[in-house]
C-alpha cells in the first residue's frame, strides 16, 4: 500500500480553519465523553551539552477520535530559538491494519489546531462580543491564536507583549492583524488592563500572571505550560477563576494546574464536557475564566485526517511504497 506524503504548503492549501474548527469541536466532545484510551504526551530530554538551551523533543499518541478509521502518532522537535520553534511529522495509520496512510509535516498543522483549540476555549468561556484581546508572547502561536480567535469573536483591538522587539514587529505585519488596532504594551499590567481575552503563549518556567492581574469578566487562555517545568499562571490566579482544561490528568501532570502546584480539585471541567453540555461554562459576565491547554493527540488526528481525505479528493501529495 502506498503512503501519502504531504508538505507544509500542501497542508496550508488543504486545511480551512473554519472547517477544522467544526471538526475539533466534535472531537473535543467525543474525547471527554467517549474515550477509552487516554492521550499521552511524552517529553523527550535531549543532551544539554549538544543542543541549545531549552530544546527538547515530544511524542504525542495515540490520536484517536470515534468515527475516524485511523490513529495518529506525532513526533516533534521543540527548539525555542528557531522559527518555527516546533518542527516534526504526523503519521496516520490505518486503524484496522496498522498500515501507514500518510506522513505529513506538522508544524503548521500544530499551530493551526492549537490556535483553533484556544478559539474554542474563548468561544465557550469569554464574554459574548468581546472585542479587546491581549497577547503575551508574539511568536507563531500568538499569531495563530489571534487568527483563530477572530473566527469566534469580533476582535477590534490587540495589545501585545514580548521580550523580543522583532517578534512584535513580525506580529504587527501578520495577516492575523489585518484591520485591527495593534499596540505594543509596556508591561504585563499594561497589556492586561483593558483586555477581555488574554492569550499567554510563552516558554516561561516561572509564573508571571497572578491574582492581582485579574479583573471581572476576563478570560485567559494559557498555552505555554505544556510539559513539566513550564508555568505561566500562579496558583492564586487559578484558584480565583473557573478553570477548564483539555485533559484533567495531563493538566496536573504537565499543564497549567500542575505547573502552579495545584491538583485536580482546581479543575471545573474539560473543554469537551462543556461542549457536550454536561458541565457549565461561564455563568455571568463578572466571572473570571481560564482555559489551560497542553495539546492532545486527538487534535492532531482530527486535523491530519481532514487534510488526508481532502488530499485524496484533490489528488495532492506524493506517494511512496515503504515495502519496495
Cell matching residue 204: 516561561
What is the C-alpha to C-alpha distance for residues 185 and 162, in angstroms, rounded to an integer? Answer: 8
User: From CA 211, how far away is CA 20, in angstroms rounded?
Assistant: 34
Identify each DSSP E strand in 151-303 by its residue range.
157-161, 181-184, 197-200, 219-222, 242-245, 269-270, 289-292
Which residues 6+ apart lie within 8 Å of 262 measured at CB? 235, 238, 239, 252
Contact 149, 134 (CB under 8 A): no
Structural contact between residues 202 and 224, judged by C-beta atoms closer than 8 angstroms: yes
Distance of CA 75 to the CA centre of its chain: 16
Q: CA-to-CA distance for 149 and 133, rounded, in angstroms?
A: 9
Domains of the chain, CATH where assigned: 3-110+298-320 (3.30.1780.10), 127-295 (3.40.50.720)
Q: What is the pLDDT of residue 50?
A: 87
* Selection from 190, 224, 84, 200 nearest residue 146 by Cα: 200
Give CA–CA dist 208/224, Å, rounded: 12
Per-residue pLDDT in tens (0 to 9) along the chain, 324 residues = 899 999 999 999 999 999 999 999 999 999 999 998 998 999 898 888 888 888 989 999 999 999 999 999 999 998 988 878 889 999 999 999 999 999 999 999 999 999 999 999 999 999 999 999 999 999 989 999 999 999 999 999 999 999 999 999 999 999 999 999 999 999 999 999 999 999 999 999 999 999 999 999 999 999 999 989 999 999 999 999 999 999 999 999 999 999 999 999 999 999 999 999 999 999 999 999 999 999 999 999 999 999 999 999 999 999 999 999
In this prediction the pTM is 0.93
Cβ(219)–Cβ(126) under 8 Å? yes
Spatial separation of the C-alpha atoms in residues 255 and 258, rounded to whole Å? 6
User: Alpha-carbon distance 97 to 230, whole Å?
Assistant: 38
Amino acid at each position: 500500500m502506498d503512503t501519502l506524503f504531504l508538505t507544509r504548503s500542501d497542508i496550508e492549501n488543504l486545511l480551512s480553519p473554519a472547517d477544522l474548527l467544526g471538526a475539533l469541536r466534535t472531537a473535543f466532545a467525543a474525547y471527554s465523553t467517549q474515550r477509552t484510551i487516554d492521550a499521552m504526551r511524552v517529553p523527550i530530554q535531549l543532551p544539554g551539552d549538544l543542543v541549545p538551551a531549552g530544546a527538547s523533543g515530544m511524542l504525542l499518541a495515540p490520536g484517536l477520535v470515534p468515527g475516524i478509521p485511523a490513529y495518529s502518532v506525532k513526533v516533534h522537535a521543540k527548539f525555542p530559538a528557531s522559527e518555527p520553534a516546533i518542527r516534526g511529522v504526523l503519521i496516520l495509520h490505518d486503524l484496522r491494519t496498522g498500515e501507514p496512510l500518510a506522513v505529513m509535516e506538522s508544524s503548521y498543522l500544530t499551530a493551526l489546531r492549537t490556535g483553533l483549540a484556544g478559539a474554542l476555549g474563548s468561544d465557550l468561556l469569554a464574554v459574548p462580543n468581546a472585542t479587546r484581546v491581549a497577547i503575551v508572547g508574539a511568536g507563531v502561536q500568538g499569531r495563530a491564536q489571534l487568527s483563530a480567535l477572530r473566527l469566534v469573536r469580533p476582535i477590534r483591538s490587540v495589545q501585545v507583549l514580548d521580550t523580543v522587539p522583532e517578534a512584535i514587529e513580525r506580529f504587527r505585519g501578520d495577516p492575523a492583524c489585518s484591520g485591527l488596532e495593534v499596540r505594543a504594551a509596556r508591561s504585563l499590567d499594561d497589556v492586561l488592563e483593558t483586555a477581555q481575552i488574554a492569550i499567554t503563549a510563552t516558554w516561561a518556567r516561572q509564573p508571571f500572571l497572578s491574582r492581582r492581574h485579574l479583573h471581572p469578566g476576563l478570560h485567559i487562555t494559557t498555552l505555554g505550560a505544556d510539559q513539566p517545568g513550564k508555568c505561566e499562571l500562579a496558583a492564586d490566579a487559578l484558584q480565583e477563576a473557573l478553570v477548564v482544561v483539555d485533559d484533567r490528568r495531563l493538566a496536573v501532570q504537565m499543564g497549567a494546574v500542575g505547573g502552579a502546584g495545584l491538583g485536580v480539585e482546581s479543575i471545573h471541567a474539560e473543554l469537551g464536557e462543556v461542549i457536550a453540555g454536561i458541565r457549565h461554562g461561564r455563568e455571568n459576565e463578572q466571572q473570571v475564566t481560564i482555559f489551560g491547554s497542553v495539546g492532545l493527540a486527538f487534535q492532531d488526528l482530527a486535523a491530519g485526517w481532514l487534510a488526508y481525505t481532502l488530499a485524496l479528493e484533490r489528488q495532492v501529495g506524493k506517494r511512496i511504497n515503504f515495502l519496495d
